[in-house]
Copies of this chain bind each other. A is one copy, B any other.
Amino acid sequence: MVINYPNGEKFQKATSAQPSLTKKVNYGNRGMSLEQEINKTNQYYRERGIAVIHKKPIPIQIVNVDYPKRSAAVIKEAYFRQASTTDYNGVYKSHYLDFEAKETKNKTSFPLNNFHEHQIDHMKACQQQGGICFTIIKFSLTQEIYLVPAEIIFEYWDRRFKERKSIPKSIIQEAGYFINYKIQPLIPYLNIVDHLISQRQK
């Protein structure tokens, strides 16, 4: 039986098991989706004037709207549309940032079918304009988070019909950047963006 909180989030049963001492895992964010974690992180960055990054709203095709008197308009019929861009973008230290956030339950690789073609095309176009593009990948079973520069994604994406349809985790560990959960902000990905910026300037 699944019990949900009133807000719809899954209820996580508290256990009395001792946390393992060998693995450093932040339990504070348990039950949060990667999207929620990144939204919280972006809010932190915005409130402190560090960066202005927002998640884009879900694109919706509205078919029918009701305008009742004395109350808000109600959308009565609408459909989800496929996004033509990535989920997040914004500005940081004069740089344009553009990224996706993806979670996988896989243990040894990241399946490329997590992307739509137009998301990849969008990242390629942004990169060409001088934007900084990447994907934040979370291996949810181990709560490991990596920032993977878009070039790595493109490399595997472009060969996906010839070779494998996923990026090995070992490559992500090697060519990507591990992000340690922190408290403030939860996912300090801009530290890694700083590194990417300094590499560009070389």
Is the Cβ of B129 less than 8 Å from the Cβ of A51?
yes
CB distance from A146 to the nearest CB of B (A): 24
Per the 8 Å Cβ criterion, residues 107-133 of A in contact with B are 122, 125-126, 128-131
A90 to B125, CA, bound (A): 11
- Does A60 sit within 8 A of B, measured CB to CB? yes
The verdict on A96 contacting chain B, using a C-beta distance below 8 Å, is: yes
B-contacting 9-mer, from A22-30, A78-86, A154-162, A173-181: A78-86
Q: B79 contacts A73, CB within 8 Å? A: yes
Residues of B within 8 A of A57 (CB): 56-60, 83
Seen from chain A, the residues whose Cβ lies within 8 Å of a Cβ on chain B are 46, 49, 51-52, 54, 56-60, 62, 72-80, 83-85, 89-96, 98, 122, 125-126, 128-131
